[in-house]
Amino acid sequence: MIDNQHMLLTSMFLPDTLHLTTWSFWKKRFESGELSEFFLTPTFLKGDIFGGWPNEYLVQSDQNKDAVDHTPTQRKGVIKSSYISWAYFSDWSEIHTLAEMFPTQTFCITIGLSTYPFNDKNVNLHDIKQQILSLPDNIHLCFVNGWDLYSDEHLGYSRLESFAKRLEGIDNKRIRFYLCNQRILDKAKKYFPECHTEYYSVYPVRMVDSVGFASHPKYFCNTKKHRSRKLISLNNHVKEHRKEVVETLRPFLETKEVYLSLRGENLFLEKESVIPYDENFTFIEQLQDAPPRRVMTNSYAYVATETHFTTTEVIPTAGAPGMIDVPPDEYYSWFTEKQLKAFYYELPFLHVGFYKNLEEIRRAGFQTFPEFFDESYDLIHDDKERLNAICKTLLDYMAKPIQEIHDLFWSDDVQEKIKHNKDVFLKLVETDPFNKYYGFEDGR
């Protein structure tokens, strides 16, 4: 793994006009041929991902004029606050210089896509387009969102359709999309037929970079030991669907059959080294990425309570109060680190999320566990009915004797699925488009 401390140094510029932060570190690897492509992040992108953050949280706005710097430019070692990044640039002339220095290698200019499409409606793509057209073909345009990408359409506006018109003239082969939403990747291929598309989530690499993970074995399920809890559900911020799940499982806390938390309502794990609950996300990475190994590997199954649940949720729009917009199918086609924890820690799971989310999870290559949970809830469009079905499924599961769950967990079929999911997760780390800069081997 690359020594993080090197990344805190600014570059020794070569030539003198090339002011790319951290470039001197990467230059040696680039000149040796170890890297055939490199990602560059403009410092002048000032748009924000929510169109109003923090003053109008989760409110879309079409007033953004700048593209979003919502790109995976940093890898932070949790607690240490040390960084790895590729190079930043502030002047397009620097890119011209690079293209001339390395004419046979590829440079990708990374630009973020906003979480909500209206935030990108009126960004200035014209100047970016003109710069790309003036540069050699080894300079590519790369759109990235590996965090949250809820939708590409809103109130009749189609972001990628609009982008295709506004970027017309750029060879599609010079355009890339690294996105966490599979249906929006499909859409990118529709509007940019010869572009490069790739599923990308920031969370797998970020999880394996968490404190303590370096000491973890590749696989946890090595011995058929008995576990003390039937189920685990970890929750931070209060959401209605999370409250419902927690209240369904709360009676089983007294009988010590579950691990359960809802930190926004002061329900913490026993013996937890308590990081104070903070609705401003101060400690969010520690909480998201590094749940206690002792509880994750002492449970037989996991409940993934996603951020959003309401299928007909309205995405607020600044200046348009009361406007209702039922999200299109791509609103349902993503999931976050909350679900990925089940794969990393090798647990069967029940997914509390959007309608047909399990379908998207399978599409990403993972397998689900109908032998543990009745998965018919995934096909219920009505949110209240789906949540009721989920809670009933949880109660049915909790009614099973723990020995029966133990035997099912260690059965050959279930263990084969568990290992498959872990391997798919590790593959996401290994094939992360930016992993070559992080230096993880074998997914760890």
Tens digits of residue pLDDT in 195-245: 999 999 888 888 887 767 778 889 999 889 999 999 999 998 899 999 999
Residue 321 pLDDT level (bands cut at 50, 70, 90): very low
Domain for residue 206, yes or no? Answer: no
Cβ atoms of 220 and 415 closer than 8 Å: no
Does residue 58 share a domain with residue 153? yes
* Rounded mean pLDDT, 49-74: 58
Residue 62 pLDDT level (bands cut at 50, 70, 90): confident
Question: Rounded to whole angstroms, how far apart are CA atoms 306 and 217?
Answer: 27
Q: What pLDDT does 186 receive?
A: 94
| Percent over 70 (pLDDT), the chain | 74
Structural domain count of the chain: 2
Domain for residue 207, yes or no? Answer: no
Other CB atoms within 10 Å distance of the CB of residue 187: 23
* Rounded mean pLDDT, 167-181: 96
Tokens of 149: 């990408």
Does residue 225 share a domain with residue 166? no
| Residue 83: partners with Cβ closer than 8 Å, 6 or more residues away | 4, 7, 8, 74, 75, 76
Choice between 202 and 326, residue whose per-residue pLDDT is larger: 202
Does residue 333 share a domain with residue 375? yes
Q: Note every long-range contact of 185-188, with CB atoms under 8 Å and residues 24 or more positions apart, other chains counting.
A: 187/152, 187/160, 187/330, 188/160
Does residue 229 share a domain with residue 196? no
Question: Rounded to whole angstroms, how far apart are CA atoms 215 and 203?
Answer: 19
Closest Cα to residue 187, out of 379, 340, 315, 333?
A: 333
H-type alpha helices, 230-300: 240-249, 251-254, 284-289, 293-296
* Rounded mean pLDDT, 31-41: 77
Mean pLDDT of the chain, nearest integer:
80
Does residue 349 share a domain with residue 242? yes
Tens digits of residue pLDDT in 180-194: 999 999 999 999 999
Q: What pLDDT does 316 receive?
A: 56
Domain finish residue from 200, 223, 257: 200
Q: What pLDDT does 228 receive?
A: 97
Question: Rounded to whole angstroms, how far apart are CA atoms 129 and 150?
Answer: 25
Tens digits of residue pLDDT in 82-129: 334 466 777 888 888 888 888 888 889 988 888 878 888 888 899 999
Tokens of 317: 């729009």
Residue 78 pLDDT level (bands cut at 50, 70, 90): very low
Q: What pLDDT does 163 receive?
A: 97
Phi, psi torsion values for 409, nearest 5 degrees? -60, -40
Task: Please list, residue by residue across 29-40, b when 16 or more beta carbons sit within 10 angstroms of its beta carbon and e when fewer do.
Answer: ebeeeebeebbb
Domain finish residue from 200, 227, 242: 200
Question: Rounded to whole angstroms, how far apart are CA atoms 152 and 68?
Answer: 15
Does residue 423 share a domain with residue 350? yes
Residue 33 pLDDT level (bands cut at 50, 70, 90): confident
Cβ atoms of 236 and 279 closer than 8 Å: no
Q: What pLDDT does 279 receive?
A: 53
Instruction: Please state the pTM of the whole predicted model.
Output: 0.85
Does residue 268 share a domain with residue 144? no
Does residue 255 share a domain with residue 167? no
Does residue 139 share a domain with residue 281? no
Question: Rounded to whole angstroms, how far apart are CA atoms 326 and 313?
Answer: 7
Question: Rounded to whole angstroms, how far apart are CA atoms 41 and 395?
Answer: 49
Q: What pLDDT does 285 receive?
A: 56
Residue range(s) defining the domain that contains residue 419: 213-435
Tens digits of residue pLDDT in 252-306: 999 999 999 998 999 988 875 555 555 544 455 555 667 888 999 999 999 999 9
Does residue 157 share a domain with residue 129? yes
Domain for residue 440, yes or no? Answer: no
5 CB-contact burial (10 Å; exposed 0-12 / middle 13-18 / buried 19+): exposed
Tens digits of residue pLDDT in 119-143: 888 888 999 999 999 999 999 999 9
Domain for residue 443, yes or no? Answer: no
Domain for residue 150, yes or no? Answer: yes
Does residue 196 share a domain with residue 217? no
Instruction: Give residue 80's region: left, alpha or beta (phi > 0; psi -120 to 50).
Output: alpha
Question: Rounded to whole angstroms, how far apart are CA atoms 365 and 200?
Answer: 13
Does residue 274 share a domain with residue 166? no
Tens digits of residue pLDDT in 150-160: 788 887 889 99
Domain for residue 298, yes or no? Answer: yes
Domain for residue 444, yes or no? Answer: no
Place of tokens 């370096």: 214
Phi, psi torsion values for 157, nearest 5 degrees? -95, 130
Domain for residue 442, yes or no? Answer: no
